[in-house]
A and B are shown apart, each in its own frame.
Chain A
């Protein structure tokens, strides 16, 4: 199956993306999984001045709080293996990328790269 974002590479991982205000599961390649979705996928804000102001104000706050700096620091190339399974509880990488809950504390070590992507998305 081809990646649903770039339509070039083979899809290797399922990720959740916000499209038109709803969360959808997309099968994408590693490259697209770690990048922000292109403009054609991610919708801009509606022309609603007051809400936009609200966003701008708080975005400034977010930058101040280092949230964006943290994202940049974590933007490393992850290693994906969809068959990867937690040796302690049996949770699979597919379950984690689908947004299901983790089974045990060890999942944080087993699925570190998948969790980083989920938190950055």
Chain B
């Protein structure tokens, strides 16, 4: 058996970190109750403030972004489905800044959602990013807040600090070997933490989790400081990392484990390779996320984990593209992106087992 780790150990399991502040301006209703004129007024005020604190702030109006551009932002977790569907098309916007980790949505669920996203476990650095920007903004913008509730937000669970810290974790081994999801969700719920799916979705019977990738975040934004929330979630992440690594070791060192892992890998490879269309929503992404585990363990010939992550993001971006003229029969953009990726590495249906480096 050859094991070829493709990524540094400290970047395993926790794929990315994200934090955000929710803020609203005094004297205006929250976005669901805003008139278009009020929403435009807020956008103009906030846009001016963003440019005042950072001359490199760049605005993309929701209404002006074409669906491909919007899909690209969504695939990179920069904007939410809610923002995409916002009725305030011409009065909501997405901002990027000189600090590449920092971004903001205006007139999503709250007037301002300021966020920072970084690779790996980096909640403290993310907190620094948004804190610097928020401090500068607080000098210019009249935030809605009071001593009893702290910062006032459209959803009461965000009131207080308006802070949410979220980690995207990949628990591939725990997910395929144990009925971990339900138990983990219940345990996290008891800790006042949320466990959501890849796009922050709440899983249900009709819409289960996408692959073994979860987002863990604080449920409430009051009663603890930002540092305490970060510390608590980091502790949980470290604990989950240990359990996942133990579980991976068990998978690789027992005959039963290797059989399970090999069957899992071949099944999702077969479903991902040479598909012309993915009928069910998100099914392509589901297979790719399920291949994260063998890729992280270096079990896929000529495919690194980094390449597979890039493919997952790129195929999401290309989901709504149609390449009728480039393929025969015409297939969806995501299917073509995935096909090209596997073709380039000579992955062919019927000859997949030689690509899995696990006996």
Contacts and interface: CB of A to CB of B under 8 A. Distances in A.
A in complex with B: yes
Interface of A: 18, 21, 43, 45-46, 48, 50-52, 54-55, 57-59, 61-62, 65-67, 70, 88-91, 101-105, 108, 112, 115, 118-119
A105 B26 contact: yes
B11 interface: no
Contact of B186 (A46, A101, A105, A118): A46
B232 interface: yes
11 contacts: A18-B189, A21-B185, A51-B186, A57-B235, A62-B192, A62-B232, A66-B223, A101-B154, A102-B30, A108-B156, A115-B159
Contacts of B222: 70, 119
Given A103-B30, A108-B149, A48 B183 contact: yes
A102 B32 CA distance: 9
B32 to A, nearest CB: 6
A119 B185 CA distance: 19
Interface residues of B, number: 40
B30 A55 contact: no
Contacts, number: 95
B243 A103 contact: no
Given A104-B30, A108-B146, A108-B152, A62 B183 contact: no
Interface in B133-184: 144, 146, 148-149, 152-157, 159, 182-184
A58 B243 contact: no
Nearest to B155: A101
B316 interface: no
Given A101-B109, A108-B146, A50 B243 contact: yes
Contacts of B2: none
A105 B24 contact: yes
> Which of B109, B187, B239, B243 is most buried by chain A, counting CB atoms within 10 A of its CB?
B187
A70 B223 contact: yes
Nearest to B156: A115
